[in-house]
Amino acid sequence: MTHATTTANLRTVHDAFATTAARTPDAPFLCVEAVTAQTYGIATGEITWREAAPAVASLRARYAAAGYGHGHRVGLMLENRPAFLYHWFALNALGASVVPINAEMRSAELEYLVGHSDIGLAVVLPGRGADLHAAAKACGVPLAVREWREDDDAETAAPHPLPAALRPAPRADTPIGIDTECALLYTSGTTGRPKGCILSNAYFLNVGRWYADIGDVCSVRPDQERIITPLPLNHVNAMCFSLMVILVVGGCLIQLDRFHPQTWWQSVRESRATLIHYLGVMPAMLIVADPSPDDRAHSVRWGFGAGVDGKNHAPFEVRFGFPLIEAWAMTETGAGGAIMATREPRLIGTHCFGRTESFVEARVVDDEGHDVPPDTPGELLVRATGPDPRRHFFSGYLKDQAATEEAWAGGWFHTGDVVRRDADGSFFFVDRKKNVIRRSGENISAVEVESVLNQHPAVKASAVAAAPDDLRGDEVLACIVTREPIGAEQRPQLAAALVDHTLSQIAYFKAPGYVAFVDALPLTLSQKIQRGELRKMAQALPGDACCIDTRAMKKRQG
C-alpha cells in the first residue's frame, strides 16, 4: 500500500504534522545542529514532535484570537529557524496562507512583495520591522508588522497579542481543505517582476507522498530518515520537498541555516543524517577539499538534488560513498511534473535526470511547438496524466491569469528549460530557455537587476547576463553603457558604486559580480536586447580590461 493511500484523509499541511505528532510523539522532529544554533543564537539539540505540537497550538490560538483565518496571507521573515515551521503550521490550521520573505531582500524587493502579495501581517526578525513598515508606506498599503522573539513560540510564553488583521476579511464561503491556498512563493520573473505562485495544500501533500513512494535507488524508510538540508525555507525545495516527506511518513528534519562547506561533514556526522538535499554548487565545493580518512564516516544513504557538474558526479560518489540522485522540478510543477533518475542506469555525469513516471507526460518541442526527434534539444513541456493536466501543479500566478494561461498554452505546462530525450526515454538537461541566471541555486532575473542598475544616474543603459563561474555555476555580469564617457582609471570606482547601489535595493546574490563598460549593447531592430548575443559576450568578457571583477563586494548584508 502506498503512502498516497494511507494518507488520503489528510486535508492540510497541519493535518500531516498533527497526525505524525500524535503517532510518534517522542521521536525527534527537528534537529538543530551546533553551527546553525550558534548562527541563530538558539539551543542546540533535538525537538520532539511532542515538544513542537504545543508551540504550534499556542500560536494557532493566538492567531485565531487576533482575527487571522481563512483568506488571509501572512509574510514570514524567519530564515530557516524552527519558528518558521511553527508559525506556518499554526496559520495553515486556520486556513491562512504564508508568504516566505527572504531575509536578504532589500527595499525595492520588499516594496514589490508587500504591494503585490496582499499580506496583512508580516512576522519578521528583530530589527527588520522598520524595513517592512517602510515598504508598506512606499507602496501605500496597510500592513501590521510584528518582530518575532524566540519566547513567542514557547507554550509558557507571555501572551503577547498579535495585531489584528488589516485586510482582507477572513473567508467564510468555502471550508478549509485540500484546495485551500497554503503558501504563496515568488519565482524570478523572466520578462518582468517576480511571479507569485499560488500553492495549495494538495500541492504540498502530494510532494510528501511522491517522495515517500519514490523507491528503487531512493527508498524512504518510515520514521527512520534524518534529512539534512542547507537550502532556504523561502524556496520550494526546503519548504516542500525535504519537509513534506518528514510530515507524511515521520522522521527528523535537520534544517541548517545555510551551506557551510568547512563544517558540512561535521554537521552531517553529528546530526546522524541519512539523506541530504543538495544543489550542484555543493559537490563542487566539497570535492576540492583534501581527501580525508573520514570521507565515508557518515550515515548518508543517498542525496536528492540537481545541477551537479558532470565532471564531479562520479568522483563524488566514489569518494564519499553514496549516490547523488539528479531530479527536475519547478515551483510551478511541484511533484506533479517531477522527473527523477531513481532507477539504474542513472547515466552518471551526463546531466541525466531520469525518465517520466506514470503520473506525468512530457514532450520536447521546437520553437514552433513541434515534437523533436530523439537527442534533439528542445523545450520541455509537462502535464499530469489523466483528465486534469494541472493536477497537483500550482494553482496559478497571483493577479496574472494571462501569464498562467500562457504557461499552460495548448494544455501543457511550458517549462522554459531546454532538454533532450534519448531513444530510451531518458532526459538530459541542456540549458535554460528563460532569461534567468542561476547562481549557487538562486534564480536571478536579469530584468530585475537591469531595472535597478538603470536607476543610477551614471547609467544610460544596462544589460545583464550569466558569466561562467566554476564554483557557483553562473555569476551576474552587467554590461553598462554610461551617460558620459569614462576613462580606464574611473572604471573600478564606478563599478563599485554601481554594486553598492544594487546592494541597497536587492539581495546581495543578485548584484553584479562583474561590471563591463561597453560602447553599445547588442540590440534588435526594434531596440530590444539580443539576449543570445549578450550571452556570448558574457562568456568572453571576464578578464577583459573593460570588465571589473566585483565578486568580493557580494557579501551577505547585516
What whole-number distance in Å separates Cα of residue 461 and Cα of residue 184? 33
Asked whether the predicted pLDDT for residue 521 surpasses 50, the reply is yes
Asked whether the predicted pLDDT for residue 309 surpasses 90, the reply is no
What is the band of 194 on the pLDDT scale with cuts at 50, 70, 90? Answer: confident
- CB 420, CB 428: distance < 8 Å: yes
Listed range (346-350, 445-449, 455-459) with the worst mean pLDDT: 445-449
C-alpha cell at 247: 510530515
Listed range (67-76, 167-176, 224-233) with the worst mean pLDDT: 167-176
What whole-number distance in Å separates Cα of residue 517 and Cα of residue 484? 12
In this structure, the strands spanning 473-482 and 226-229 are unpaired
Asked whether the predicted pLDDT for residue 134 surpasses 80, the reply is yes
Q: What integer pLDDT is reported at residue 153 of this predicted model?
A: 66
Asked whether the predicted pLDDT for residue 424 surpasses 80, the reply is yes
- Calculate mean pLDDT across residues 337-352: 95
Q: What integer pLDDT is reported at residue 168 of this predicted model?
A: 59
Q: What integer pLDDT is reported at residue 156 of this predicted model?
A: 53
Residue carrying the nine cell digits 520541455: 380
What is the band of 164 on the pLDDT scale with cuts at 50, 70, 90? Answer: low
- Tens of pLDDT, residue by residue over 61-77, are 999 988 899 999 999 99
CATH code: domain 439-553 is 3.30.300.30
CA-to-CA separations, 112 to 196, 198, 242, 337, in angstroms, rounded: 11, 17, 28, 29
3-state secondary structure 460-497: EEEEEEEEEECCCEEEEEEEEEECCCCCHHHHHHHHHH
What is the band of 6 on the pLDDT scale with cuts at 50, 70, 90? Answer: low
Q: What integer pLDDT is reported at residue 442 of this predicted model?
A: 83
What is the band of 508 on the pLDDT scale with cuts at 50, 70, 90? Answer: very high
- Calculate mean pLDDT across residues 404-412: 97
Q: What integer pLDDT is reported at residue 212 of this predicted model?
A: 97
3-state secondary structure 442-458: EEEEHHHHHHHHCCCCC
Residue carrying the nine cell digits 549578450: 534
What is the band of 523 on the pLDDT scale with cuts at 50, 70, 90? Answer: confident
Q: What integer pLDDT is reported at residue 20 of this predicted model?
A: 98
Q: What integer pLDDT is reported at residue 527 of this predicted model?
A: 65
- CB 74, CB 91: distance < 8 Å: yes
Q: What integer pLDDT is reported at residue 35 of this predicted model?
A: 97
Q: What integer pLDDT is reported at residue 158 of this predicted model?
A: 55
- Tens of pLDDT, residue by residue over 111-129, are 999 999 999 999 999 999 9
Burial class (CB in 10 A: 0-12, 13-18, 19+), 208: buried
Q: What's the length of the chain?
A: 558
- Calculate mean pLDDT across residues 14-39: 98
- CB 236, CB 208: distance < 8 Å: no
Asked whether the predicted pLDDT for residue 238 surpasses 60, the reply is yes
What whole-number distance in Å separates Cα of residue 359 and Cα of residue 229? 27
- Partners of residue 145 on adjacent β-strands: 122
C-alpha cell at 236: 520550494
The CATH topology of domain 305-434 is Luciferase; domain 3 (2.30.38)
Burial class (CB in 10 A: 0-12, 13-18, 19+), 147: middle
Over pLDDT 70: what percentage of the chain? 93
Q: Mean pLDDT across the chain, nearest whole number?
A: 92
What whole-number distance in Å separates Cα of residue 87 and Cα of residue 91? 6
Asked whether the predicted pLDDT for residue 412 surpasses 90, the reply is yes
Q: What integer pLDDT is reported at residue 524 of this predicted model?
A: 65
Q: What integer pLDDT is reported at residue 167 of this predicted model?
A: 55
Q: What integer pLDDT is reported at residue 19 of this predicted model?
A: 97
Greatest distance between any 2 Cα atoms in the chain: 71
- Residue extents of the structural domains in the chain: 305-434, 439-553
- Calculate mean pLDDT across residues 229-236: 95
- Tens of pLDDT, residue by residue over 137-148, are 999 999 999 999
- Tens of pLDDT, residue by residue over 172-191, are 677 899 999 999 999 875 55
- Calculate mean pLDDT across residues 489-506: 95
User: Cα angle vertex 348, ends 346, 350, to 5°?
Assistant: 110
What whole-number distance in Å separates Cα of residue 241 and Cα of residue 401? 26
- Tens of pLDDT, residue by residue over 249-269, are 999 999 999 999 999 999 999
Entry pTM: 0.87
Cis peptide bond N-terminal to 315, omega within 30: no
Q: What integer pLDDT is reported at residue 150 of this predicted model?
A: 80
What is the band of 431 on the pLDDT scale with cuts at 50, 70, 90? Answer: confident
Contacts of 193 (CB under 8 A, 6+ apart): 112, 116, 448
Burial class (CB in 10 A: 0-12, 13-18, 19+), 49: buried
Q: What integer pLDDT is reported at residue 5 of this predicted model?
A: 45
Listed range (81-90, 443-452, 526-535) with the worst mean pLDDT: 526-535
Asked whether the predicted pLDDT for residue 488 surpasses 70, the reply is yes
Asked whether the predicted pLDDT for residue 558 surpasses 70, the reply is no
- CB 120, CB 167: distance < 8 Å: yes
- Calculate mean pLDDT across residues 513-540: 86
Contacts of 160 (CB under 8 A, 6+ apart): 149, 152
User: Cα angle vertex 225, ends 219, 229, to 5°?
Assistant: 100
Q: What integer pLDDT is reported at residue 423 of this predicted model?
A: 97
Helix (H, G, I), strand (E, B) or coil at 37: helix
345's torsion region: left (phi>0), alpha (psi -120 to 50) or beta? beta
Asked whether the predicted pLDDT for residue 330 surpasses 50, the reply is yes
- Tens of pLDDT, residue by residue over 271-304, are 999 999 998 889 988 999 999 999 999 999 999 9
